[in-house]
Structure 1
């Protein structure tokens, strides 16, 4: 049998640990169940993806300044030309594959600032090329949300319609796509792909108050909050800083976590404002690193979605600073829906009350997370079985990925 040529696509290797964790989970599945597949990537950070995961990778955009604001005529012209060149480059890349997988990520949402001619346009080029060239494009375990901006909504809707396979990381995502005009009758919901990554050894509770991981984010609101972005960011940073200061006053060691390279200034601002040896910053380069950090903590308070995933996967009680409904949905799935706090309106005193309530129920919640993680593993096993049936129907298949995890 000829080896299947499989492409992976997305903003991978670009500094977002959650995106890379989803890629790692899909690569684990392919290597365990389809070791004959020849895999490469079209992605944001090809050098990182090749060095870290050992697969050939091509840069997503022809124009290297794609994500820089273009103010001069030359830069604007180059960016416009890049859109045309990318249409040809994307189609040529898609044509070389039987299957292309978009691994997780919030590719069908705009919960963070997003322009339609950025990634939504790239995703549309991929899905349209797949349909025209008869390459199966699969959106696997992706996140979605209702989008108010008409051009972005149109690109996202058509991308989803043109894909050969779709699954979502929560029911809210599927409902959002249905509301935006996509037929989701055959689409399934499974846990986030990052739950398929190997779990680190659990650290037994010490019996005395210990370390707290606080996951921070360069949060400025969503796509509809651009006019209030700085105000939202200042309020978020002030609230989180006050919360960290309160933990330090109680003698609790605090470990600051991030999930994207752009979060570094927030860490620096908190370290400077609190100025205590009890507050340190983790230098996590992958979700595996974040899993180890959260497994070693007594409690986690986090903003970024995949910081929460890591805490819950590690079995550590967590409190979500929710910036989108996806965080609330994740917490509800794992039995911690009572422990969400709005990132747009961080109230340090109220957050501290919720934190203390969380810690009082720590033993009970750890048991709950153990049970939910078992169910999650079974559901992801079903996800990979369905993916094989949809994308590799002719393969002689022996399902071993669950055991590999």
Structure 2
């Protein structure tokens, strides 16, 4: 039997845990249902992808300085030449495959700073090559949003139109693509792919009273607090500077977000709460350092996380989570830990509503530490009730993702017989 050749594509292995978690989910699906598939990647961090997931990987861009700001003539020329070379490199890579999958990620949105000649251009090359060469490109469980910048919007719209298969991680993503002129009549909506990842075992959790003083070092991931004491709080942070339309006031937005987060963490420490700082991307390390420097307390520690599994282990051991990054929120929700979302885009609000926590959102561009603390305390009062809600919503998400993978097999592997999937 001829082995099907599957390519995975995206900013993978580049330090973003959410992107890599989406890849891990798709690899889990392929290994469970299509173990005969030969899989490799065209991605941002090929060395990391090969080391972690054991698949061959090729660098996404020919020009190695792609993500550095080009100010000198030589760098500008290098980037320009790289864009031309990437046309042929991408086409050659696509030609070697029977199917290409773009696993999740917000590839059809610009909710964070993004230039059209960056990833939108790369995605367009992929989808155009797939259409011209007869290789189906599948955008699986992706995020989308309205885009004001015309060149970026045009590239995103044509990428979606040229893809052979599309599914979205929320209804508003599908609505956004429809508003851009993409025919979405056959496109389905499923939960984010990360909801299919295995969940770490939940520690035994004693009931915690309202926050009070606590001495001693914070609990590390994996062990609940002793009975009668408030447990740790995970605070997921981000190097947040607003989105594409906020460039003129990016530093103002960042300063307000950071100052509000520092005040919130300081208030938790004053209540005697151990705080674990979590990130979702390598670039977030500067925010962690700023908080540790501003809140000089042994109660505040930073976790070292290299995957969504690591994040889930930390969050499963926490009483409560406060987070800004989308996949930090998913990790908390998936472990059944009540979470307060600091939201910078509608996708986070939609996720929280989907999981029954719509009222626990706080705007990232206008962080108010006092209001955040008030919402946090309200959330903790309903902890037991919300944990039950999350258990039920997670079961629904798992069933929906089974349908996603069944639909993906029917669309991309119609001549193969899938292996029965086991629940994570």
If the length of structure 2 is used for normalisation, what is the TM-score?
Answer: 0.95
* Among candidates 331, 354, 365, match of residue 375 of structure 2: 354
- Asked if the contact 1:32–1:404 (Cα under 8 Å) also holds between the matched residues in 2, the reply is no
Q: Any idea what SS the aligned residue of 1:321 has?
A: strand
- Asked if the contact 1:253–1:278 (Cα under 8 Å) also holds between the matched residues in 2, the reply is yes
For 2:244, the equivalent position in structure 1 comes to 223
Shift of 1:404: 4.7
Q: Cα deviations across residues 255-300 of structure 1 (Å, max 9, x unaligned)?
A: 0000000000000000000000000000000011001011110000
Structure 1 residue 24 and structure 2 residue 24: aligned? yes
Shift of 1:207: 1.9
Cα distance in 2 for residues equivalent to 1:185 and 1:204: 46
Cα distance in 2 for residues equivalent to 1:95 and 1:69: 31
For 1:110, the equivalent position in structure 2 comes to 110
For 2:359, the equivalent position in structure 1 comes to 338
Structure 1 residue 259 and structure 2 residue 280: aligned? yes
Q: Any idea what SS the aligned residue of 1:7 has?
A: strand
* Among candidates 404, 419, 423, match of residue 383 of structure 1: 404
Q: Cα deviations across residues 110-134 of structure 1 (Å, max 9, x unaligned)?
A: 0000000000000000000000000
Cα distance in 2 for residues equivalent to 1:15 and 1:138: 23
Residues 75-86 of structure 1 mapped to structure 2, 5 A cutoff = 75-86=75-86
Cα distance in 1 for residues equivalent to 2:204 and 2:44: 39
* Among candidates 301, 308, 312, match of residue 280 of structure 1: 301
For 1:304, the equivalent position in structure 2 comes to 325
Cα distance in 1 for residues equivalent to 2:250 and 2:423: 44
For 1:239, the equivalent position in structure 2 comes to 260
Cα-Cα RMSD: 0.6
Structure 1 residue 315 and structure 2 residue 340: aligned? no
Q: Any idea what SS the aligned residue of 1:138 has?
A: strand
Cα distance in 2 for residues equivalent to 1:397 and 1:261: 36
Gaps of 5+ in 2: 209-229
- Asked if the contact 1:248–1:278 (Cα under 8 Å) also holds between the matched residues in 2, the reply is yes
Cα distance in 1 for residues equivalent to 2:357 and 2:71: 46
Shift of 1:396: 1.9
Cα distance in 2 for residues equivalent to 1:35 and 1:285: 26
Moved runs in structure 1, 4+ residues, more than 4 A?
none
Structure 1 residue 392 and structure 2 residue 413: aligned? yes
Moved more, 199-208 or 58-67: 199-208
Cα distance in 2 for residues equivalent to 1:205 and 1:158: 50
For 1:145, the equivalent position in structure 2 comes to 145
For 1:63, the equivalent position in structure 2 comes to 63
Structure 1 residue 293 and structure 2 residue 307: aligned? no
For 1:202, the equivalent position in structure 2 comes to 202
For 1:13, the equivalent position in structure 2 comes to 13
Q: Cα deviations across residues 145-201 of structure 1 (Å, max 9, x unaligned)?
A: 000000000000000000000000000100000011100000000000000000011
* Among candidates 376, 380, 387, match of residue 366 of structure 1: 387
Q: Any idea what SS the aligned residue of 1:109 has?
A: coil
If the length of structure 1 is used for normalisation, what is the TM-score?
Answer: 0.99
Number of equivalenced pairs: 403
Cα distance in 2 for residues equivalent to 1:404 and 1:244: 37
